[in-house]
Amino acid sequence: MSAELAREVPEVRSWRVRAVLAIGPCVSLVGIAWAIVQPWRITLLDPFGQGFWWLVAEPPLYVVAAGLLFRLLVAPGLVEDLEEAGR
């Protein structure tokens, strides 16, 4: 076999690792869907007469933020532990 034709095969991740990495984006998508289905919950669309905290405290935005934070902060550590346990 020619060395030019041989390629490095990418490492296939287990279904557990893929599931952990998919939790954050799935939660964020649910938050976006919630905001689309119930647009009256997004007071930023009609901010007149609303206070600062009423504009900031919007549940769909919290769900999107929780999904992003999980993916960026929690999932890498969990994936590392799962890959270590799989060896």
Residue-by-residue pLDDT tens, the chain, 87 positions:
556 666 765 677 788 999 999 999 999 999 999 988 887 777 666 667 777 777 677 888 899 999 999 999 999 999 999 988 877
At residue 75, the pLDDT reads 95
Model-level pTM greater than 0.85? no
Q: Are 17 and 82 in contact (CB under 8 A)?
A: yes
Tell me the three state secondary structure of residue 58. Answer: coil
Total domains in the chain come to 1
75's CB contacts (< 8 A; 6+ apart) are: 20, 21, 23, 24
Residue 64 domain boundaries: 20-86
35 within domain boundaries: yes
12 within domain boundaries: no
At residue 35, the pLDDT reads 86
48 within domain boundaries: yes
**Closest-CA residue to 69 (of 35, 27, 40):** 27
**Closest-CA residue to 27 (of 59, 2, 56, 4):** 59
